[in-house]
């Protein structure tokens, strides 16, 4: 496993013409990340994992500072997985070309997380664009848990670069709530609440599949979730193909964002 702390060194030493898979992360690796890496290793000849906690996608400095970090443990995991390359760039290395990172969202895309976290996805898209410009991977692997992020990356960056974006299934804790680096910040009580909330949403999703008219019960689900969390930011059902509100039995997806104390979690079913 070769570790690079500079994008230029990576570009000089890695053969991007080979079948290279890329997994961008913010570190604090969990089973979701591990699944992405294993998928890349199965599909690609070489795998590159980046670890970069991007400051521009955090709305609050406190959230950026408290974001869980454990680089030594991450490197142990990556070494055990036999990852070929790891990129750990510094902030100045990423942000030296700020003009290329300025991506504006259309008004119609300022929904769900984008509505409640202004500038968040602009920050994500900016960094991913720098990565894709310099890391000419054949594939980039991302999880469905961050569904809106994946949708926007495809929409705004998909045609700019040759890298094919592969979406991978959400990995769940005990077949319940999605693995997330922020889960490490949860108390035991809030961990139980997160499981309860996910189970409510999962049952609601299955209910709609059986009887599409049950989408009208979203107010009742809203009430149930609100009782289990500190704050329910949004609970919406949207079209998974374009994130619009026009839905049917085959294209609907439930999106949620909520707080357990100061920890913000998102999910979709």
Q: What is the pLDDT of residues 77-125, one digit of tens each?
A: 999 999 999 999 999 889 887 666 789 999 999 999 999 999 999 999 9
Q: Looking at 30, 33, 120, 205, which residue is catalytic?
A: 33
Are 263 and 190 contacting, i.e. CB atoms less than 8 angstroms apart?
A: yes
Look at residues 142, 168, 194 and tell me which one is the last residue of a structural domain.
Answer: 168
Q: Which two tokens mark 216?
A: 């009208």
Condensed to tens digits (0 to 9), the pLDDT of residues 194-206 reads: 999 999 999 999 9
Judgement on whether residues 46 and 152 belong to the same structural domain of the protein: yes
Judgement on whether residues 192 and 245 belong to the same structural domain of the protein: yes
Judgement on whether residues 206 and 247 belong to the same structural domain of the protein: yes
Condensed to tens digits (0 to 9), the pLDDT of residues 125-146 reads: 999 999 999 999 999 999 999 9
Are 255 and 148 contacting, i.e. CB atoms less than 8 angstroms apart?
A: yes
Judgement on whether residues 161 and 183 belong to the same structural domain of the protein: no
Look at residues 151, 168, 185 and tell me which one is the last residue of a structural domain.
Answer: 168
Q: Which CATH number covers residue 255?
A: 3.30.1300.10
Q: Which two tokens mark 103?
A: 């991506």
Q: Which domain holds residue 241?
A: 173-268
Look at residues 126, 150, 168 and tell me which one is the last residue of a structural domain.
Answer: 168
Are 229 and 260 contacting, i.e. CB atoms less than 8 angstroms apart?
A: yes
Judgement on whether residues 158 and 186 belong to the same structural domain of the protein: no
**Whether pLDDT at 66 is above 80:** yes
Condensed to tens digits (0 to 9), the pLDDT of residues 183-192 reads: 999 999 999 9
Judgement on whether residues 138 and 36 belong to the same structural domain of the protein: yes
* Cα 256 to chain centroid, rounded: 14
Judgement on whether residues 159 and 184 belong to the same structural domain of the protein: no
30 is annotated as an active-site residue: no
Judgement on whether residues 31 and 155 belong to the same structural domain of the protein: yes
Judgement on whether residues 115 and 199 belong to the same structural domain of the protein: no
Judgement on whether residues 184 and 78 belong to the same structural domain of the protein: no
Judgement on whether residues 154 and 220 belong to the same structural domain of the protein: no
Q: Which CATH number covers residue 12?
A: 3.40.50.620
What do you get for the CA distance between the two ends of the chain, in Å? 36
DSSP classification of residue 55: G
Condensed to tens digits (0 to 9), the pLDDT of residues 4-49 reads: 999 999 999 998 888 999 999 999 999 999 999 999 999 999 999 9
Angle at 208 between CA 202 and CA 196, to 5 degrees: 20
Judgement on whether residues 105 and 233 belong to the same structural domain of the protein: no
How many domains does the structure of the chain reveal?
2
* Cα 178 to chain centroid, rounded: 11
């Amino acid at each position: 496993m070769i570790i690079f702390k500079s994008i230029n060194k990576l570009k000089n030493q890695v053969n991007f013409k080979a079948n290279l898979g890329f997994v961008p992360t913010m570190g604090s690796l969990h089973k979701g990340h591990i699944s992405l890496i294993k998928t890349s290793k199965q599909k690609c000849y070489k795998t590159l994992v980046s670890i970069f906690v991007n400051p521009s996608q955090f709305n609050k400095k406190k959230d950026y500072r408290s974001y869980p970090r454990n680089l030594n443990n991450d490197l142990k995991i990556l070494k055990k997985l036999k990852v070929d390359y790891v990129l750990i760039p510094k902030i100045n290395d990423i942000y030296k070309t700020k003009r290329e990172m300025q991506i504006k969202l259309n008004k119609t895309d300022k929904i769900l997380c984008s509505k409640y976290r202004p500038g968040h996805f602009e920050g994500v898209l900016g960094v991913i664009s720098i990565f894709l410009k310099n890391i000419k991977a054949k594939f980039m692997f991302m999880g469905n848990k961050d569904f809106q992020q994946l949708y926007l990356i495809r929409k705004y960056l998909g045609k700019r670069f040759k890298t094919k974006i592969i979406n991978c299934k959400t990995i769940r804790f005990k077949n319940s709530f999605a693995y997330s680096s922020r889960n490490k910040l949860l108390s035991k009580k809030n961990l139980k609440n997160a499981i309860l909330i996910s189970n409510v949403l999962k049952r609601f999703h299955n209910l709609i599949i059986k009887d599409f008219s049950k989408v009208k019960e979203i107010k009742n689900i809203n009430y149930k979730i609100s009782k289990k969390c500190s704050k329910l930011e949004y609970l919406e059902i949207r079209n998974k193909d374009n994130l619009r509100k026009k839905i049917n039995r085959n294209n609907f997806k439930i999106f949620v964002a909520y707080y357990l104390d100061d920890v913000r979690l998102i999910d979709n079913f």
